[in-house]
Amino acid sequence: MKHKDNGGVTFFLNSTKNIFSVFFSLGKRAKKTKAFYLISFIPVVMALVIKFGQILSERSDIGGIYIFTNIIMAFYLQFLILILALFFGTSVCSEELEGKTLTYLTTRPISKSAIILGKYTSYTALAILMTAAGVVCSFLILNVNSLLDFSLYKILLRDLAVLSLGLICYTAFFTFIGTFLKRSIMFGLMFSFGWENVIQYFPGTTQRFAIVHYLKSLLPSTSGGRFSFLLFRLEPSSPGTAIAMLFLITGVFLAFACLLFSLKEYILED
């Protein structure tokens, strides 16, 4: 019964696909997923409150798309995708160690890299779906009066693409951190709300050391208003460079995560 093609690309891709399918369906049922679904719907509640407020006060001096853009910048980009990526990314490895279930995966005829990549893709897909659900609902609520204006859908698609790229990149980074560090959540929180929130405002090339810099470079710079401080001193990279950098960061950290997971010895403590 020994598998013959255990070194080939097809074998590796099939292993990754099998791990993806197992953990995507397991992830859907997980308690943490349900909790994050609730969090990702906070902006939907905010959008409903704002919209009802506008209807009741009969005022609509602030456009729906303006509020939507600010929700994307303030809530999704700087908070939700970081939290989702942190908890899903670090759990790729740490949940197997903490739950002592790693043995069930490492005693199967699949490579350790396939375990990491399969779990990473399944959790990233879940996080993207979760984010997209909240974003689309918020968009529809806030723009309920102009749903036939198709130019607005371009903004929605662009924002969804940027948030997905952010999730892909951050989850890869946190997957690596999860394979590397025991207390990965603590480090992740410091990185997300310390490093990422501070470095992006540094002038010159320093801000390029933050992932969020590349994400913001893909969004148009909004001007003025109460949220202008969020764009303080942003010196955007070109869209091409930003996309290339995001994929490069993703690739590098995933490669490191796979390598480390294959070489490192994990002891399941009693």
Contact 195, 113 (CB under 8 A): no
Identify the three-state secondary structure at position 248. helix
The verdict on 121 binding other proteins (CB under 8 A) reads no
The verdict on 3 binding other proteins (CB under 8 A) reads yes
Per-residue buried b or exposed e for 81-93, using 16+ beta carbons within 10 Å of the residue's own CB: bbbbbbbbbbbbb
Using CB under 8 A, pick the residue from 8, 13, 21, 147 that binds other proteins: 21
- Taking alpha carbons only, the member of 163, 2, 12, 136 closest to residue 75 is 163
Which of 6, 221 has the CB closer to other proteins?
A: 6
Q: Is 38 exposed, middle or buried (0-12, 13-18, 19+ CB in 10 A)?
A: exposed
Which of 99, 194 has the CB closer to other proteins?
A: 99
Query: Which residue type, as a one-letter code, is found at position 179?
Result: T
The verdict on 24 binding other proteins (CB under 8 A) reads no
Stretch that binds other proteins, among 27-35, 130-138, 154-162, 236-244 (CB under 8 A): 27-35
The verdict on 34 binding other proteins (CB under 8 A) reads no
The verdict on 258 binding other proteins (CB under 8 A) reads no
Binding string, 77-116, against other proteins, x = CB under 8 A?
----------------------xxx-xxxxxxxxxx----
How many angstroms separate the first and last alpha carbons of the chain? 34
The verdict on 18 binding other proteins (CB under 8 A) reads yes
The whole-angstrom distance between residue 109's C-alpha and the CA centroid of its chain comes to: 30
The verdict on 13 binding other proteins (CB under 8 A) reads no
- Rounded to a whole number of angstroms, the minimum distance from the CB of residue 265 to other proteins is 5
3-state secondary structure labels for all residues of 120-145: HHHHHHHHHHHHHHHHHHHHHHHCHH
The verdict on 1 binding other proteins (CB under 8 A) reads yes
The verdict on 9 binding other proteins (CB under 8 A) reads no
Which of 103, 205 has the CB closer to other proteins?
A: 103
| Separation between Cα atoms, residue 224 and residue 230, nearest integer Å | 10
The verdict on 259 binding other proteins (CB under 8 A) reads no
- Rounded to a whole number of angstroms, the minimum distance from the CB of residue 178 to other proteins is 17
164 to 203, contacts with other proteins by CB under 8 A?
none
Contact 163, 81 (CB under 8 A): yes
The verdict on 238 binding other proteins (CB under 8 A) reads no
- Roughly what angle, to the nearest 10 degrees, separates helices 42-57 and 112-142? 10
Query: Which residue type, as a one-letter code, is found at position 255?
Result: A
Which of 1, 56 has the CB closer to other proteins?
A: 1
Degrees to nearest 5, angle at CA 130 with 118 and 228: 115
Using CB under 8 A, pick the residue from 6, 60, 145, 206 that binds other proteins: 6
Interface residues with other proteins (CB under 8 A)?
A: 1-4, 6, 14-15, 18-19, 21-22, 25-26, 29-31, 99-101, 103-112, 262, 265, 267-268, 270
